[in-house]
Structure 1
Amino acid sequence: MFDDHSPIYRQIAEQIKADVLRGVLVAEEQVMSTNQYAAHYRINPATAAKAFQHLVDEGVIYKRRGVGMFVSADAPTRLRDEKRERFFTDVLEPLVAQARTLGIPAADVVTHIQQLFENDDLGEGR
């Protein structure tokens, strides 16, 4: 699950965010405790706690005293909105710049994207 590209606590936080976006974790659902998470993935509990605190600070999860951590009610919508905004900045803008460099007309790019969306092999929501 973990690689050497970024700190483990960030990878944990990103995995939990991805689970929220995919619907694996839904709004108001309880998430594993930091100790359970640490035991399951064989990591230092402090690392798991740092990841969870990062998610609390971002408003993705919240603590119910004496009960545990839960997915925030607005987390799925907020995460999706943030990802959509980054998609345009991080993916679409460089794609358009590359197409211009290669002399690909905008209409060709749009047509190709539409074909990809219509392709059954890609599946919806991926």
Structure 2
Amino acid sequence: MKSDLDSNRPIYLQIKETIEEDILYGRLAPEEQIPSNSQLVSHYNINPVTVLKGINLLVDEGIIFKKRGLGMFVSLDAPEKLKRRFSQAFFQEQVEPLTALAKPLGFTLREIHEMIDSAWKGEKND
């Protein structure tokens, strides 16, 4: 769980995104209970309605579900749903702009692959 929130973005969305990231990166597993509303309220020192708004978005998307009297839990297919959504966003926000910039600069696909491979390995491209 993140320790701070960005005051420039809606807090309920940040709560939602934090839980999504915890699921996507394996910090919360399918069928695992997420932090309770009161834990989130206390941790972030925010209004319970704000937490509930973020949680309800996750329920509506089928990422988490409620077990009456027990709390909220990660859905079995939540990691796959999130991976698909994040992959699509990654393509639109990173890959498409990269290709739109690389083509007019004359880079070949092979050169782009080599650059990505170097970056993946943590090498500097001089």
TM-score calculated relative to the size of structure 1:
0.88
2:94 equivalent to 1:100: no
Matches within 5 A, 1:73-88: 73-88=76-91
Identity score, percent? 43
1:19 to 1, 17, 22: 22
Matches within 5 A, 1:1-126: 1-117=4-120, 119=121, 121=122
Runs of 4+ in 1 over 4 A off after TM superposition: none
Offset at residue 36 of structure 1 (A): 1.6
Offset at residue 37 of structure 1 (A): 0.8
TM-score calculated relative to the size of structure 2:
0.88
Q: What is the aligned length?
A: 120
Gaps of 5+ in 1: none
Offset at residue 43 of structure 1 (A): 0.6
Question: Counterparts of 1:61 and 1:109 in 2: how far apart (Å)?
Answer: 38
Offset at residue 55 of structure 1 (A): 0.7
Offset at residue 116 of structure 1 (A): 2.5
**What's the CA shift string for 1:1-55, capped at 9, x where partnerless?**
2113320000010011001011111100001111121012111111011111111
RMSD: 1.4
